[in-house]
Structure 1
Amino acid sequence: MKLLISFMVTLLVTLGAAAQSGAYQLGDKVANFTLKDASNRSFSLSDFAKSKTVVLVFTNSQCPYATQYENRLVTLSTSYASQGVQFIFINPGTGAETLKELASKNYNFPYLADDSQKVTSQFGATRMPEAFVLNNNNGEFTLKYKGAIDDNPQAESAVKNNYLKSVIDEVLANKTVTILDKRATGCMIKKL
């Protein structure tokens, strides 16, 4: 029995590592990608070449963790927009969220659908919400951070560490990013 359990644990760890082995790592250049919003308009990463920083958030309104973070993320987006930070929400093609629901959000930034999960896989996103900070250097985007938004998904008032905000501040100030990878807490992204 111990041998069977040991084998299963090893198999799960190996499969998990293999699933993310092709994903971007911190410091990697990010290739251009194109996704569509609920109105069938295409958006490419290259469309944001004038932004200093792009923050991708893999999310879905059907995930309770994502809904708890929604207002925090919209507030961050509004706070940093004048500083050249572009937020983009990406639905990783999971859950029952429809295009109509996506359109009803009326965010001041794009909310895109990754129905094929190609972009989700490229980034190695595994949870919702999960943030990825891309630094723009003359139109080339580099991954600077991936992971959690902060340290308390349940209560915004109890947050002690605002990981995403700190990283954005460091990137904008051309400082070395000191928070590199904090595991996101949230709903698992189901692979299609």
Structure 2
Amino acid sequence: MIKTTCYLAIGTLFLTSWLPVSASLEIGASIPKADEKLRDISGKDVSLNSAKRGNGLLVIFSGNSCPYVIRNQQRTSNICNYAHKNNIGVILVNANEAIRNEGESLQAMKAYAAQQHYNWFYVLDKNAVIADAFDANHTPECFLFDKNGRLVYKGGIDDNPGNESAVKAQYLQNAVNNLLSGNGIAVNTTNSLGCSIKRQRN
């Protein structure tokens, strides 16, 4: 009995060692799926590489209907405008594949972007290919890359996504400022709190 249990444990360990593991994107990593074509609300196909500008790239996983996204509307617009004005490319990614017919379709994205006055890319991530490559799980969830396409910050916009009036630390704003000044990022990883990305699972 003991021998059988031992064989089963070894067999299980062997099999699970070959299972794919979702690895978190580490600071210093290159932009994943950088040339993957994504449909923008403009109707054009763009890639993360093509969205990157001289000082880097800001990627935010977002959506139209998540209560946390809605609570962060002004904060999202503020940081995106700030990055954009400082030659950092901005691209918002909607990976909510499982609820495309529930307010997360490309048409709904266009309407939402117009309402929010987006002047940056907002793309549909079909089958959450980009979200999976980033190991992104929430909306909003942010990834900031430098001019060489290396990850310098990942996490939340600030320390209180549920209540703007209680914010004490503006993590993403600080990271952008550090990047622009050429200094190291003081806080490069924080927790992201928000709605779960609604992936389509078979």
Normalised TM-score (structure 1): 0.82
Q: 2:124, 2:83 → 1: CA distance?
A: 23
Q: 1:174, 1:64 → 2: CA distance?
A: 35
Q: Does 1:79 align with 2:82?
A: yes
2:132 paired residue number? 121
1:6 paired residue number? none
1:20 paired residue number? 22
Q: 2:181, 2:145 → 1: CA distance?
A: 14
Give the 3 Å change call, closer, same or farther, for CA 172–122 of structure 1 in structure 2. Answer: same
How far the C-alpha of 1:181 sits from its partner, in A, is: 1.3
Give the 3 Å change call, closer, same or farther, for CA 30–79 of structure 1 in structure 2. Answer: closer
Residues 8-46 of structure 1 deviation map (CA, whole Å, 9 limit, x = unaligned): xxxxxx9xxx6532x421111124232112343111122
* Alignment match of 2:155 (pick from 127, 147, 165): 147
The answer to whether the 8 A contact 1:26-1:143 is kept is yes
Q: 2:123, 2:91 → 1: CA distance?
A: 7
Q: Does 1:93 align with 2:96?
A: yes
| SS of residue matched to 1:62 | coil
How far the C-alpha of 1:48 sits from its partner, in A, is: 3.2
Please report the RMSD computed on the Cα atoms of aligned residues, expressed in angstroms. 1.8
The answer to whether the 8 A contact 1:30-1:142 is kept is yes
| SS of residue matched to 1:131 | strand
Q: 2:52, 2:188 → 1: CA distance?
A: 23
Greater share of strand:
1
Identity of aligned residues (%): 27
The answer to whether the 8 A contact 2:58-2:83 is kept is no
* Alignment match of 1:64 (pick from 63, 67, 78): 67
Question: Structure 1 counterpart of 2:134, which letter?
Answer: F
The answer to whether the 8 A contact 1:52-1:84 is kept is yes
Question: Structure 2 counterpart of 1:20, which letter?
Answer: S
Q: 1:65, 1:49 → 2: CA distance?
A: 26
Q: Does 1:102 align with 2:109?
A: yes
| SS of residue matched to 1:172 | helix
The answer to whether the 8 A contact 1:57-1:89 is kept is yes
Long gaps (5+) in structure 2: 1-15
Structure 1 runs (4+) deviating above 2 angstroms are 48-51, 79-82, 93-96
| SS of residue matched to 1:20 | coil
| SS of residue matched to 2:147 | strand
More deviation, 127-136/96-105: 96-105
The answer to whether the 8 A contact 1:129-1:186 is kept is yes
Which residues in structure 2 correspond to 1:49-60 (within 5 Å)? 49-60=52-63
Q: Please identify the structure whose Cα radius of gyration is greater.
A: 2
Q: Does 1:156 align with 2:156?
A: no
1:177 paired residue number? 185
Count of residue correspondences: 172
Question: Structure 2 counterpart of 1:151, which letter?
Answer: D
